[in-house]
A and B are shown apart, each in its own frame.
Chain A
């Protein structure tokens, strides 16, 4: 599969993880989009160096060819999927820990 089709699939899959599987719904939260905007600004700098120097080279046959700050546009979606999966898991873990505390179930044991 090309990088282009893989990133589109990845973003769709992670949005499902956030909205349906873990139900963290970060894509509807102002705090998420504000965090993502900050992360994106730094991604453009760091990834700009990695792809502008370049440290990483891409096979032209697997990308659509549009570039943003030297990087293939696919890298933006790759970063978005990585950040959303991480933050969704982080928030889900925090919510689960609070739920266990308030229901009196010690952490580490199975909930029924």
Chain B
């Protein structure tokens, strides 16, 4: 079970923000095309960076705590998940703040 630690942490992030999504009606998953487009530059830039760091041994993953599933270029499966999950949680957080503070300008309001 120890191999699932990293995946479990990410699952916890998704479950916590899913509760926010439902309770506050942030509708981030409903806007999935915009979400995927917003994730794309982040995934490209940060996966590239991760691969550079892995190739240069700047950081390493302890086998006991990861599934061991590796994507091309030795990228741990959990790392790709990380760059999808954490940005998604960030968008839900921003939308939650918008819901709770409707007067605060974010910059994408209709007519802005």
Q: With A50-B6, A90-B94 known to touch, is A55 a contact of B65 (CB < 8 Å)?
A: yes
Tally B residues with Cβ within 8 Å of A: 48
User: Which chain A positions have C-beta within 8 A of B107?
Assistant: 24-26, 29, 91, 95
Could you tell me the distance between the alpha carbons of A75 and B9 in the complex, rounded to whole angstroms?
A: 17
Taken residue by residue from 12 to 54, chain B's Cβ proximity to chain A (1 for < 8 Å, 0 otherwise) reads as 1100100000000000000000110111111001100100010
Q: Are A3 and B58 in contact (CB-based, < 8 A)? A: yes
Please tell me if the beta carbons of A31 and B101 are within 8 angstroms of each other in the complex: yes
Minimum Cβ distance to chain A for residue B84 (Å): 11
What is the interface of chain B, defined by CB distance below 8 A to chain A? 5-6, 9, 12-13, 16, 34-35, 37-42, 45-46, 49, 53, 56-62, 65-66, 83, 86-87, 89-91, 93-94, 96-98, 101, 104-112
Residues of chain A having any CB pair with chain B under 8 Å: 2-3, 6, 10, 24-26, 29-32, 34-35, 38-39, 42, 46, 49-50, 53-59, 62, 79, 82-83, 85-87, 89-95, 97-98, 101-102
The 9 closest A-B pairs by CB, nearest first: A94-B108, A86-B87, A90-B38, A95-B108, A55-B65, A31-B104, A35-B94, A89-B38, A91-B108
